[in-house]
Amino acid sequence: MSDQGKSTDSATLSAIGEARKAGIETVWDRYQAQVPQCGFGETGLCCRHCLQGPCRIDPFGEGARTGVCGADADVMVARGLSRAIAAGAASHGGHAKHLAHTLLKSAKGEAGDYPLKDEAKLRAVAGRIGIKTEGREAREIAVDVAEKALQEFSEKESPLVWAATTVTKGRVETFLKLGVVPQGIDSTVAESMHRTTYGVDADPVNILLGAVKCALADYAACHMATDIADILFGTPQPVVTRANLGVIKSDSVNIALHGHNPLLSDIIVQVAGEQEMNELAVAAGASGGINIVGVCCTGNEVMMRHRIPLATSSVSQETAILTGALDAMVVDYQCIMPALAGAAECYHTQLITTMPIAKIPNALHIGFSEAGARDCAKEIIRAATDAFKKRDPARINIPGISSAAFAGFSTEAILSALSLVDKDDPLKPITDNIASGNIYGVCLFAGCNNVKITQDANYTAMITELVKNNVLILATGCASGAFARHGFMTPEATEKYAGDGLKAVLTAVGQAAGLNGPLPLVLHMGSCVDNSRAADIAVAIADKLGVDLNMLPVVASAPEPVTEKAVAIGTWAVAAGLPTHLGIVPPVLGSRTVTEVLTSTAKELFGGYFIVETDPLKAAEKLLSVLGERRRGLGLGS
Ligand code: BF8
Ligand code: SF4
């Protein structure tokens, strides 16, 4: 693979060049060592769910047609997909549960480092989930919210509150009718594991409906994680920061925060800003003090709440270490490549793990607990400062490349900006402009960078095509990292790329918000769990128009997806009624039935469905045509 085939980002390419010179292996080398990948796995036609396996079915119809137990291609593929979604839901569930436990401790006064920062959000969430707020202290309300959140994980008699209270009435009815309403987050994950183990569910469509139920549990977990993070750390408001490797500074102790949960990263940012820590860094010889940078979703969390710059994300995470100036990489859980340890060993970088469920051999483990969060943060900063002293100045090679990035467009922030245009009816500017065609539709970009795709190539090709046609762009997770690196999260990008209608809307709102120019071309809504924020916006628009989500000119796209979490999110987007594009073919082609359910039958059941298209320009065309279809359905011009 040529370097040009690895990434479209010049900072990343520079780091790749550095790795080659130093003989350090990266994700792209490891991928090459895997090619060609197994055709059975690629099509979903292998099963290891029991000790009689592994069983494989030939995708070309020659050889075995079933596994030893008689599971056919449809069952194998449906079971594999269902387990991926269960793993995604377990991950988001673990993240949300962690936050819920901390909220409870905070409310009971057992976690002094976690005050209830956003009381307005606490009251709003409590009101929505049916907890009395009037005349009550914030702490009392928080105890009830946390307890109700924790109850969401086990099976109850009733639907998940975090799902039922956050979607349209029409969606709830559809989910009830199809029997896909989850009644517990963890219990639904367990049910998925049960029904897909040896000798249980052998009806592929029934397995897939179970998978949708689990994806909806994932949705509830994402929404809960967003709500509680906002209560504990504040609801994001727009900030301006920078993105790409150039945010690493040669004169500072550079600490990268990587992973997902803001529980530790937010505290590290707070502590790093204190005099004592800064003096420690300066005493070690870092005249610039401490420089915190973000990677992946933790990066998004601290970017939108604390203006922390984003160094890199997803597939290129190793490149932060390859700058030779990263003193510590601190990780919690999810999307952390074990390969970071090997890269760190080639430099002075201290890799620090913090969670009991996510250790990496040869990393320093500094165990995190809510009760000792600040102490943990201080220990981490000290370890980074010690590592700084071992830096080899001759090996520092920071690509001097970064772009401005506007971040932090929470639902609340978007509504408050819109209310400056129309105080009494904040959504009116959006719905009016959708009706007039100034906004042709909305596309939510989510997901990762996949090593199989030239990094960011699909994002950049798709966005330019969509915005030219006046599609409003929302982004989360590493999709926002991609756009940020390439300068798409700026007002300048709006001027340069947006079609006239979209530009007029973004300019009107930007002017009203006092920006003296348009809003950025991409509205950054946060991390991957914050896809719930995008769902909130879509639900608000649907309610305002008096239609269900499956009627809206709103689509989603994961042009370069990687993780099981992304599969879960994509599936709940489909269940929510959104046509959802994937730029990677998921391992389902071995089953005609499953492929057809995902790309066609789902449309009849939910209105949403998967559009698999690896060519970004064709993908953009397909999304535009779907938006046109939806517009015609609402009687709007297309
Ligand atoms: O949850 S986008 S690579 S960091 S999975 Fe992971 Fe993918 Fe990034 Fe966040 Ni989301
Ligand atoms: Fe083979 Fe069936 Fe066991 Fe899977 S569950 S490994 S198909 S025997």
Radius of gyration of the chain (CA): 24
By the 8 A CB rule, do 398 and 250 touch? yes
Q: Report which DSSP code applies to 35.
A: P
Kindly provide the b/e burial profile for residues 298-335, where b requires at least 16 CB atoms within 10 angstroms of the residue's own CB.
bbbbbbbbbebbbbbbbbbbbbbbbbbbbbbbbbbbbb
Q: Is 331 in the pocket of ligand 1 (CB under 6 A)?
A: no
Instruction: Give the mutation target among 65, 68, 76, 591 for probing the ligand 2 site: most ligand atoms within 8 A of CB.
Output: 68
pLDDT for the residue 275: 96
Instruction: Give the mutation target among 45, 55, 201, 207 for probing the ligand 2 site: most ligand atoms within 8 A of CB.
Output: 55
CATH of residue 148's domain is: 1.20.1270.30
C-alpha 399 – ligand 1 centre gap (Å)? 24
Does residue 388 lie within any of the structural domains?
yes
**Helix 119-128 vs helix 138-151: angle between axes, to the nearest 10 degrees?**
50
Question: Last residue of a domain, which of 233, 266, 283?
Answer: 233
Tokens 């760190």, located at residue: 344
Which among 253, 285, 258, 270 has a CA at the least distance from the CA of 351? 258
State which amino acid sits at residue 540: A
Task: Give 181-191 pLDDT, tens digit per residue.
Answer: 999 999 999 99
Q: Please, how many CA atoms are within 13 Å of residue 365, restricted to the half-sphere of its CB?
A: 11
Question: If DSSP codes are grouped into helix, strand and coil, which group holds residue 295?
Answer: strand
Rounded Cα gap, residues 191 and 197, in angstroms: 10
Give the count of domains, the chain: 4
Which residue has a Cα nearest atom 3 of ligand 2? 50
Question: Which range (54-63, 231-240, 352-361) has the least confidence?
Answer: 54-63
Residue 310 has φ and ψ, to the nearest 5°, of: -100, 120
For residues 254 and 227, state if they share a domain.
Answer: no
Q: Which ligand number lies closest to the CA of residue 334?
A: 1
Does residue 180 lie within any of the structural domains?
yes
Q: What is the mean pLDDT of residues 503-509?
A: 97
Tokens 């860094």, located at residue: 281
Share of the chain above pLDDT 90, in %: 98
For the CA atoms of 98, 295, 536, 541, the dihedral, rounded to the nearest 10 degrees, stands at: 180
pLDDT for the residue 637: 80
Rounded Cα gap, residues 557 and 483, in angstroms: 14
By the 8 A CB rule, do 362 and 347 touch? no
For residues 305 and 190, state if they share a domain.
Answer: no
Does residue 400 lie within any of the structural domains?
no
Task: List, in order, residues 6 or more apart from 61 with CB less than 8 Å away.
Answer: none
Q: What is the mean pLDDT of residues 286-312?
A: 98
Q: Is 259 in the pocket of ligand 1 (CB under 6 A)?
A: no
C-alpha 65 – ligand 1 centre gap (Å)? 36
Task: List, in order, residues 6 or more apart from 104 with CB less than 8 Å away.
Answer: 142, 143, 146, 147, 150
**Helix 500-512 vs helix 411-419: angle between axes, to the nearest 10 degrees?**
80
Task: Give 20-30 pLDDT, tens digit per residue.
Answer: 999 999 999 99
Compute how many other C-beta atoms are within 10 angstroms of the C-beta atom of residue 367: 12
Task: Give 610-629 pLDDT, tens digit per residue.
Answer: 999 999 999 999 999 999 99
For residues 480 and 617, state if they share a domain.
Answer: yes
Q: What is the mean pLDDT of residues 270-286?
A: 97
Does residue 238 lie within any of the structural domains?
no
For residues 290 and 257, state if they share a domain.
Answer: yes
Q: Is 528 in the pocket of ligand 1 (CB under 6 A)?
A: yes
For residues 327 and 370, state if they share a domain.
Answer: yes
Burial class (CB in 10 A: 0-12, 13-18, 19+), 141: buried
Question: If DSSP codes are grouped into helix, strand and coil, which group holds residue 8?
Answer: coil
Q: Report which DSSP code applies to 598.
A: I
For residues 133 and 221, state if they share a domain.
Answer: yes
For residues 219 and 330, state if they share a domain.
Answer: no
Instruction: Give the mutation target among 40, 46, 47 for probing the ligand 2 site: most ligand atoms within 8 A of CB.
Output: 47
Q: What is the mean pLDDT of residues 195-210?
A: 98
For residues 361 and 422, state if they share a domain.
Answer: no
Q: Which atom of ligand 2 is nearest to the CA of 66?
A: 7
Which residue has a Cα nearest atom 5 of ligand 1? 563
Q: Is 296 in the pocket of ligand 1 (CB under 6 A)?
A: yes
Instruction: Give the mutation target among 50, 66, 193 for probing the ligand 2 site: most ligand atoms within 8 A of CB.
Output: 50
Rounded Cα gap, residues 540 and 427, in angstroms: 8
pLDDT for the residue 96: 98
Which helix or strand (DSSP H or E) is residue 406 part of? strand 403-407
Instruction: Give the mutation target among 58, 74, 193, 198 for probing the ligand 2 site: most ligand atoms within 8 A of CB.
Output: 198
Q: Which atom of ligand 1 is nearest to the CA of 334?
A: 6
DSSP states of 303-362: HHHH-PPEEE-GGGTTHHHHTS---EEEE-SSS--TTHHHHHHTSS-EEEE-BTTB--TT
CATH of residue 458's domain is: 3.40.50.2030
Rounded Cα gap, residues 525 and 515, in angstroms: 18
C-alpha 559 – ligand 1 centre gap (Å)? 13
Rounded Cα gap, residues 310 and 417, in angstroms: 24
Does residue 546 lie within any of the structural domains?
yes
Which among 434, 440, 475 has a CA at the least distance from the CA of 624? 440
Q: What is the mean pLDDT of residues 59-75?
A: 95
Show the domain range for 260: 245-395
Rounded Cα gap, residues 254 and 490, in angstroms: 25
Q: Which atom of ligand 1 is nearest to the CA of 449?
A: 3
Which residue has a Cα nearest atom 2 of ligand 2? 69
Say whether pLDDT at 18 is over 90: yes
Q: Which ligand number lies closest to the CA of residue 531?
A: 1
By the 8 A CB rule, do 71 and 195 touch? no
Which among 547, 573, 565, 544 has a CA at the least distance from the CA of 474? 573
Rounded Cα gap, residues 470 and 478, in angstroms: 23
Which band of pLDDT confidence, cut at 50, 70 and 90, is reported for residue 535?
Answer: very high
C-alpha 188 – ligand 2 centre gap (Å)? 23
Does residue 240 lie within any of the structural domains?
no
Q: Which atom of ligand 1 is nearest to the CA of 527?
A: 9
Task: List, in order, residues 6 or more apart from 112 with CB less than 8 Å away.
Answer: none
pLDDT for the residue 498: 98
Q: Is 448 in the pocket of ligand 1 (CB under 6 A)?
A: yes
By the 8 A CB rule, do 382 and 280 touch? yes
Tokens 């973004």, located at residue: 506
For residues 379 and 506, state if they share a domain.
Answer: no
For residues 191 and 292, state if they share a domain.
Answer: no
Q: What is the mean pLDDT of residues 493-507?
A: 98
Rounded Cα gap, residues 267 and 113, in angstroms: 8
Say whether pLDDT at 638 is over 80: no
Say whether pLDDT at 166 is over 80: yes
Token digits of residue 221: 């977990």
Share of the chain above pLDDT 70, in %: 100
For residues 416 and 384, state if they share a domain.
Answer: no
Which band of pLDDT confidence, cut at 50, 70 and 90, is reported for residue 1?
Answer: confident
Which band of pLDDT confidence, cut at 50, 70 and 90, is reported for residue 61?
Answer: confident
Q: Which atom of ligand 2 is nearest to the CA of 197?
A: 5
Does residue 65 lie within any of the structural domains?
no
C-alpha 191 – ligand 2 centre gap (Å)? 19
Sheet of strand 364-365, all strands in order from the earlier edge strand to the far edge: 364-365, 350-353, 328-331, 253-258, 290-295, 310-312, 239-243, 403-407
DSSP states of 455-516: BTHHHHHHHHHHHHTTEEEEEEHHHHHHHHHTT-SSHHHHHHH--HHHHHHHHHHHHHTT-S
C-alpha 266 – ligand 1 centre gap (Å)? 18
Give the helix ranges, DSSP H, for 546-615: 564-575, 592-596, 602-606
By the 8 A CB rule, do 161 and 152 touch? yes
C-alpha 51 – ligand 2 centre gap (Å)? 8
Tokens 């370069």, located at residue: 560
Give the helix ranges, DSSP H, for 234-327: 262-272, 275-283, 296-306, 319-322
Pocket lining for ligand 2, CB < 6 angstroms: 47-50, 52-55, 67-69, 71, 198
Question: Last residue of a domain, which of 346, 365, 395?
Answer: 395
By the 8 A CB rule, do 520 and 406 touch? yes
Q: Is 87 in the pocket of ligand 1 (CB under 6 A)?
A: no
pLDDT for the residue 491: 98
Distance of alpha carbon 186 from the chain centroid:
20
Q: Which atom of ligand 2 is nearest to the CA of 67?
A: 7
Q: Which ligand number lies closest to the CA of residue 73?
A: 2
Instruction: Give the mutation target among 478, 531, 567 for probing the ligand 1 site: most ligand atoms within 8 A of CB.
Output: 478
User: Whole-model pTM?
Assistant: 0.98
Question: Last residue of a domain, which of 211, 233, 255?
Answer: 233
Does residue 68 lie within any of the structural domains?
no
For residues 487 and 624, state if they share a domain.
Answer: yes
Checking phi first, is residue 363 left (phi over 0); if not, alpha (psi -120 to 50) or beta?
beta
Q: What is the mean pLDDT of residues 26-52?
A: 98
Q: Which ligand number lies closest to the CA of residue 49?
A: 2
C-alpha 222 – ligand 1 centre gap (Å)? 13
pLDDT for the residue 296: 98
